[in-house]
């Protein structure tokens, strides 16, 4: 019976596949064998190195034993040397102490001699300085006498000038007082004329007129330059004011403490505080806004 071509090709393929598998297995075997051989060689080399290391360790142990023996002997010798050095140190210390005592005695003698010499020199120097000081003192006394004479003359002239200045200041004080009264009186009259209208236009307060008034608060007299009673939306209102030629921040604060607050407590009514002046500084407006008061310049009264 013959083999067909197709069967033949199939058999050939199967055989080739098996051959390839056998070839691969053989190659893997060869690689494994070589690896084992290398491992055996490495183990052999390691055994040899270990043997050599053990030999080296034995030699080191022997050397260490010899070194320990030599160290013990060296310790014994060193102990003996130290004993001898200790005895020598004691002797040297005694010699040093004796030398130090000798040097100390010599130093004391030298110091005593130096002190005597220095005392002699200082005595001479003190005599010289005393002579120089006496001369300087005499010169200074002479100069002081001259300066004292000139000072007395200057004081006399100064006293005369001060007397003239005091007289001039007194005269100026009188003139300033008169001027202040005149200015204050004129400004107060202006305030009594313009403030009622200003109060009505700007605050809605109706007040017939303003006058000077005096109050006693806590046993102290309080003078109000501008005082008036009015009405605001049917409610009783008290107006407390002051007229000054120049109004600054401290003036507003002083008016608030000394006039506005005491009078407000006394009248037991809504109180309107106002200051009028020819000049109103910006600091016065800021302080018035802070304290709830009003400040106006004289030229603003008609607005």
User: Domains in the chain: how many in total?
Assistant: 1
Continuous segment of H or E residues that includes residue 103: helix 5-203
> Which residue range forms the structural domain that includes residue 269?
182-300
- The DSSP letter of residue 299 is G
Q: What is the pLDDT of residues 6-55, one digit of tens each?
A: 888 888 888 888 888 888 777 776 777 787 678 768 777 878 887 888 88
Continuous segment of H or E residues that includes residue 235: strand 235-247
Nearest C-alpha neighbor of 244 from the set 280, 213, 288: 280
The span from the CA of 209 to the CA of 213, in Å, is 12
- Whether 114 maps to a domain, the answer reads no
- Whether 127 maps to a domain, the answer reads no
- Whether 48 maps to a domain, the answer reads no
The span from the CA of 211 to the CA of 193, in Å, is 11
Q: What is the pLDDT of residues 237-280, one digit of tens each?
A: 999 999 999 999 999 999 999 999 999 999 988 999 999 999 99
The span from the CA of 2 to the CA of 6, in Å, is 12
pLDDT at 117 over 80: no
- Whether 219 maps to a domain, the answer reads yes
CATH number of residue 219's parent domain? 3.40.1350.10
The span from the CA of 166 to the CA of 176, in Å, is 15
The tokens describing 206, both together, are: 């109706």
Query: Are β-strands 220-232 and 270-280 bridged in parallel, bridged antiparallel, or unpaired?
Result: unpaired
Beta-bridge partners for 100: none
- CB count, 10 Å around CB of 198? 19
Q: What is the pLDDT of residues 52-85, one digit of tens each?
A: 888 887 888 888 788 888 888 878 887 886 888 6
- Whether 132 maps to a domain, the answer reads no
The span from the CA of 297 to the CA of 293, in Å, is 14
The tokens describing 176, both together, are: 């300033």
């Amino acid at each position: 019976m013959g083999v067909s071509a197709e069967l033949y090709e199939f058999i050939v393929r199967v055989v080739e596949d098996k051959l390839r598998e056998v070839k691969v297995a053989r190659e893997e075997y060869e690689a494994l064998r070589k690896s084992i051989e290398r491992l055996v060689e490495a183990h052999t080399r390691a055994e040899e190195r270990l043997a050599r290391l053990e030999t080296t360790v034995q030699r080191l142990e022997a050397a260490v034993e010899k070194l320990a023996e030599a160290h013990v002997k060296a310790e014994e010798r060193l102990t003996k040397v130290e004993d001898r050095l200790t005895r020598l140190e004691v002797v040297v210390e005694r010699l040093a102490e004796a030398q130090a005592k000798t040097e100390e005695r010599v130093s004391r003698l030298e110091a005593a001699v130096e002190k005597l010499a220095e005392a002699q020199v200082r005595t001479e120097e003190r005599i010289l300085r005393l002579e120089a000081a006496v001369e300087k003192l005499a010169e200074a006394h002479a100069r002081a006498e001259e300066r004292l004479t000139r000072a007395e003359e200057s004081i006399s002239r100064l006293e005369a000038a001060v007397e003239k200045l005091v007289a001039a200041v007194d005269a100026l004080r009188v003139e300033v007082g008169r001027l202040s009264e005149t200015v204050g009186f004129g400004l107060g009259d202006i305030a009594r004329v313009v403030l009622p209208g200003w109060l009505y236009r700007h605050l809605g307060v109706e007040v017939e007129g303003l006058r000077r008034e005096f109050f006693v608060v806590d046993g102290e007299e309080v003078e109000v330059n501008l005082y008036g009673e009015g009405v605001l939306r049917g409610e009783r209102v008290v107006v407390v004011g002051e007229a000054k030629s120049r109004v600054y921040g401290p003036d507003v604060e002083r008016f608030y403490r000394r006039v506005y607050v005491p009078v407000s407590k006394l009248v037991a009514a809504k109180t309107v505080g106002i200051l009028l002046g020819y000049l109103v500084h910006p600091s016065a407006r800021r302080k018035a806004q802070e304290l709830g008061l009003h400040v106006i310049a004289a030229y603003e009264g008609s607005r």
